[in-house]
Structures are given as C-alpha cells and as structure tokens.
Chains A and B, each alone.
Chain A
Amino acid sequence: MDAPLVADYLRMRGVSRRGFLKFCASTASLMALPPMMIPQIARALETARRPSVIWLPFQECTGCTESITRAHGSTIEQLIFEAISLDYQHTLMAAAGEQSDDALHEAMKLNHGKYLLAVDGSIPLGNPGYSTISGISNIDMLQEAAAGAMAIVAIGSCAAFGGIPKANPNPTGAVSVADIIKDKPIVNISGCPPIPIVITGVLAQILTFGLAGLELDHLGRPKVFYGQSIHDRCYRRPFYERGQFAESFDDEGAKKGWCLYKLGCKGPTTYNACATVKWNNGTSFPIEAGHGCIGCAEPDFWDKGGFYNALSATEWGTPADVAIAGGAGIALGAVAGALARKHQNDAKATPETKP
C-alpha cells in the first residue's frame, strides 16, 4: 500500500491552500532558500509521499527525542512531521515488546531502500552487551537497518560524534554512526541536544528535496544551520571586540551582559544556530542566560579542557612537572659548565702556549 501524498494528508487535516503556501514560504526563508523556490517546495510537498522514517535509539539519554517534540514554528510544521510515517520510535510509538520488533522489521522490508534511518545515541564497541534492544546489539541493529536505508540522519552529538559516552576514558568504546557505516550518506545534526527546529528543519529539507541541495560541512553537518560559529552571530560580540569580559558569574560585567570568553565560552569554536534561532520558541540561549557556550555541537566537547577554562587557557602540566623540567635544565647546565671548566683548565695546562 502506497503512503498517502503529503498534500492529501494536509487537506485531510483542514489545512487551506493559502496556509500551505504560507508554510512553504516560511520554510524557504528558514532554510535560506530564495523565494523563487517556494513553488518548488509546494510542488515537492504536494507530490511527496509520506516517507517511512525508522528511528533507532542507541546509547542515548532521550534528550534528542525530547527536543524534537518541542519543535516550535507553525503547527503545520508539526503536522508535516506527523505526516511522515514514523514507523519505529521507542518513546513515541504505541507498540511495545514483540509487536514493536515486528513493526520495525515490517517497515524495513516494506520500504527497503527508501526509508530514512534516524539514529540517536552512540554505539558501544567495547562490549555489545553495554546497549541492546531486544537482545540485539546496537552495532548489529545499525548495520542491518543501514543496509536498506536511503540515508541516515545522526541526530544529536552522540550519534554524530560519539558524544558524552565517548568522553574520556570512554568506558564503553562508544563511537559515532559515521565510524561504523561507510557506504550510505550520513547527515549529522549535532548538538546536545540539537535545537528542535534544526532537527525538523533538516528533516523537512530532506523530505522536500532529498539530499541533493543539502550542503554539508567537513563534519557532515548542514551548513545552513552549522555554517557559522556562535561567536559570529552572538549578540555579545561587541563586548568581545571591546575587551569587556565578565570575570565571574555574578560580577558587574556579568550583570551588564558582557562577553563570557573568560568564563570558558566556546562560542568562537562552536558551530550551531543557537545565537540566531535560539531555544524555547526563540526565547533565549545559554549565553543570553549568562552561561558560556559549552560547545555541545562539536566533537569531544567534554574533553576540551573544561567548560570554565577559556579557549586561551591551556593544559600546561603541574608545578611538579615544571620543577622537574627546571631540575633537568639545571643538571644539564651544571654538567655542561663543569665540562667547560675542565676544557679550560686543560687548555691552560698545555705548555708553550704563549710566546
């Protein structure tokens, strides 16, 4: 049985033509697509079939699922999301137990080669027993599901880069999807969690245009949301430029909303849309709330030298190390000096050196 056309589904739910076109326009602007593409979006959505989406959760905290269900924007967008056939999702699906297993296998069989595989959570390679679903290890499940997928969307920093489980010392041997699957296109939507509307926006883009128009950065993230750093769009940037920094979380500078660089903000090296799109329906984002960016959309953000250590602070060892280096230097110098003194004395002792 073919899935219904998205347009039919919308009409069924009472969305007018006008409302539908308004949605396409706002989607175009969100994705930074030119207005002339609006008819194309409309046509694509009208003729798109409800694609099958299979969502596999691995070593995750369910934060990404929580995030996507907070997606703001027009209700229509949520309808679009509902318009996909979410055939397998632990948190949201009604089925459980063996029935959910059956649902998974049936969806995979029915839509073989055409379904979109969404993954959140990292995959443990240390011992498959660390994370299983119905007794099947994450890696086995991933490889089986990936085989029939048209593309994979790694949602959240865990799936995209390994995330929190991968943090030093990585006891489970956690890795990202891209570390395992090499033969399918992978779109990374990183963040811990990613911004709700970023997840839905990317999915909407893939639904509308497939993977064709989606430009990815060197880490596989869509450039439209991950192309600029937080720093480049941060409203506190003028304070950085002028050198006005908050020195502690409750000092005058902090109260005046000065730059949080010295309090460890990783905005300059973090690429995400937080500074423009923000969180909670555009209410605020961490920096605006007075806490530095922790860089959660970047790989290994837990191991970048501490959330409260500024980018310019470094790992320099300990005073003990310095003492050892100093001691080694003094020892080498003493030896060099003693040998030089001996060389001088030998030269002095040589007879007949002066006329």
Chain B
Amino acid sequence: MSSISASIPVDAFEKRANELPHTGTSSLSPEEQVARAKEVILSNLDSRTAMELETCIHCGMCSEACHFYEATHEAKYTPIHKVHLVRSVYRRELSPLRWFNRLFTREITAQDLSDWQELLFNSCTECGRCDLMCPMGIQITSGIRIGRQALAAADLMPPELRALNDEQTRSNTLLGVGIDELQDAVSELATQGIVVPLDRPQADVLLLTTVSDLLLYRQSFAAIARILDKLDLSWTIRSDAFEASNFGVLSGSEDGQMLAAKRVTDAARACGAKLVIVPECGHAYPALRFDAPEQLNTPLPFEVMAISEFIGREIKAGRLKVKKIAGGKQVTYHDPCKLGRHGGVFEEPRDALAALGVELHEMESHGKTQYCCGGGGGVLMLSGSEELRRRTFDIKMRQVEGTHADSVVTSCDTCRMTFERGAKQVNWSLPVESLAELVAANLAD
C-alpha cells in the first residue's frame, strides 16, 4: 500500500519521464501534414463512425459528461468539437451528400491540425463518458481515436508520446526499461520468496507487466506473481514480450500499435498460452483484448483477461481463496475507464472486494458512469496537461470524499499515479491501493 506524505522520493519512473522531450514540431511540410492526416481519416472511417458523424445534432450535452469541460468550462473541450477535424473531412469527402456539404464545410488546414493537437491529446483521455451521454448514441471516442491517428500520421503527436512510441517500436523498451530491468525485478522478487518463471518455452498463462510496475509498483508485480503461484498455474513471463503498455495506441501510431500487439500475440503463440493476463494497466487491456484482433483482422487463439477480472473470476469460482480483512475497512473502488467503460470489467473487482470483507462505498458516479482520473490516454505523460490534470483531479477528489471511505482501491497503474500526483499537488492524504496487492496480502493459507 502506498500512502502519500508531504515529501515523496522522486521515483525512477518520474525521473525518467521528466527526461522525455516536451517540445517538438512535425518533420513534414504543412501540405504533407494535411495530406497524410486526410489519408488516415479516409482510410480508417468505418460504417458505424460514418453514420454517427452524420447524426450529431449539436446539442452540446457531451460537454456535460466530460471532466475536462466540467473542470474548466472551456467550450473548446466539448467532446464533439474535438472530433471536428475528422468530421469535416468526412463531410467533405465521404458523406453521401458531400457535394452539398462542401458549400458549408471548409477544408482543413495545417493550422487546424496544430490547433487540434491540444484537443485530441492534451484534453482527452478517451475515457468514453461522452459516449454514454450522447442522446444520439454517438461514440465520440471512435472519432477521437481516428483523429489521434491522423495527427500521428502528420507527425503531430505530442513529443512525449512520439518519443515513447519511437522507443517502443525501435528497441522494445519504454523509458529504457528492458530485459535488464525485468531481470532485476525478478531477482528482487526472488529475495521475497517469489519465483517468477522467466522465458518458459511452454506455459498455459502468459503474464505481462508494465514499465510503471517495474519502475514504481514492483509490489503489484509481486502480488500478481504470488496469486498465480497460489493458483498453481503453469505460467511464464517472456523477456522478448513482457510489456503490456501499447504506446502505439496512446500516440496514435497505427504501426506502433500493431507492432506492440504483435510482439505479445507472437510470444503467446510461441509458448502455447491459453490465457494472457494484462497486469494493472488500463489501456493495455482493450488494446490487446479488442483492438489487436480487429487490427490484425484475426481472432486471437487465446483468452485475454485483466488481472482484476481474472482475480474476481477465480475468487467467484472458488479457486482462489482469500481471508476477510479485519477491522471494518471502508473503501471505495475507482473503475479505470479502459477496464470498465471500455472493457466491461465491473463485477469482478467488486467480487474480490466482497470476498475480502471490506465495506464498499460507491462514488456517486461509479461503474460505467465513473469519472476518469484524468491521466489516461497518455495524458499523464504530457507536461502540457499538468494544469488541466490538476483541475480535473478536483472532480475525482470530491467524488471520493463524498463516499467517506478510508482509501481508494483501483487496478490501473496510470490511475494510481494520477491519484498520487494529484494528491501530492493538493496535499490530500487519502491512500490509494492496488486491488492485486490487497488480494495478494490476504490470501487464505
């Protein structure tokens, strides 16, 4: 359990993240930027998104669902406005009425692309709350994803994300975390009595981990290893494909996305895994579970589960037994957007908490309507979003405080980091806990 105090040692993750470039410009000419952005938008629009883009009635209700708008009341953060670029290209070039639309919709320019970088990356976590709100049923996040991909093609992704995607693509590391760091973590766990089966040629379960686990939350890694051991599963972690994070998804780079996903799926096939477990990471789950088969256009020959989902399933099935925590612990659970709204993982973490005997106090907006922590979608990494994150965190803080719980439990490193950073900024002392660590600390003998 990590609790926040006034002074926190600068962890390795934070230190390395601070070394990322914070400024940068596109290497392409303005004409090329527009051409590439348009190519991506045209290529990636599908039937559902096209019909949705036809159906927006400009009611503005989506703004009321967005934590960025709610925190700042800046009209530009209206979700459908963030998608304006994509919509303009669609209306002018693909809509059945495009010849008519051209009278009212102007061409996008390189300046538009540059202006929209803030709207698509810095002030959107792809949390999907707006998708639930829209009375027309428009999934604005689909448009956001295409918009990010378009800007990435125009070499206009935020510099931090460009650097991380380049690194992951080029050298299969993130923030310099590679095989060495993995082996270091494995050794450390060994001193705690946990044996991590590294690079087994055959295993039923392939576990992934993340740069944030290896640099910052090693106890989460340890907890998952302990749980898998307790279940007596045949599992492994592969040094050539251990990273669950997919910075292709976060930066909008489709090639980066495919490469990162393929590394994992190839490794899973190679060791014959029937199940791939994504650790406490948000975006990695839908990236592998849903986006990868869609992008590769082939079903996966193995199951993909998030660790919180897996834990809940095993507890409910009676295979994983936990002790009840004494002392009447009062918690609230923060549903990471990518696990919850984008992944359907709501019940399983709650089954686990129920088995642990803690008293769960739900936030006013919980489950599918819960508020984003404000750090997802790569926003945590962006220096340009620091002020915005601080303001949106206020909303989350009030939601948590409304429950009168003693701590917040969650199951995503980015959410955890966002909470900790936000708490530090405002001197808030509520502890943030990892679900995996909580379960692993209370396994029944």
Contacts and interface: CB of A to CB of B under 8 A. Distances in A.
Direct interface between A and B, CB < 8 A? yes
Determine the main DSSP class of B at the interface with A. Answer: helix
Interface residues of B, number: 21
Determine the main DSSP class of A at the interface with B. Answer: helix
B240 interface: no
Contacts of A354: 40, 149, 152-153, 253-255
A336 B96 contact: yes
B153 A347 contact: no
A337 B253 CA distance: 28
A336 B254 CA distance: 28
Contacts of A343: 42, 93-94
A9 B92 CA distance: 87
Nearest to A349: B43
B98 interface: yes
A354 B149 CA distance: 8
A311 B79 CA distance: 47
A333 B94 CA distance: 12
Contacts of B38: 347
Interface string A53-90: 00000000000000000000000000000000000000
A328 interface: no
A31 to B, nearest CB: 59
B243 interface: no
Contacts of B94: 340, 343-344
Contacts of B39: 347-348, 350, 353
Interface string B84-99: 0000000001111110
Interface in A300-355: 332-333, 336-337, 340, 343-344, 347-348, 350, 353-355
B96 A347 contact: no
Contacts of B97: 336
Q: Chain A CB within 10 Å — which of B42, B97, B152, B254 has the most? A: B42
A343 B254 CA distance: 20
A350 B36 CA distance: 9
A44 B256 CA distance: 105
B43 A348 contact: yes
Interface string B31-71: 00000101110110100000000000000000000000000
4 A-B pairs with the lowest CB-CB distances in the bound complex, closest first: A347-B42, A336-B96, A348-B43, A353-B39
Given A336-B96, A347-B38, A355-B152, 18 more contacts: A333-B96, A340-B93, A340-B95, A340-B98, A343-B42, A343-B93, A343-B94, A344-B42, A344-B45, A347-B42, A354-B40, A354-B149, A354-B153, A354-B254, A354-B255, A355-B153, A355-B155, A355-B256
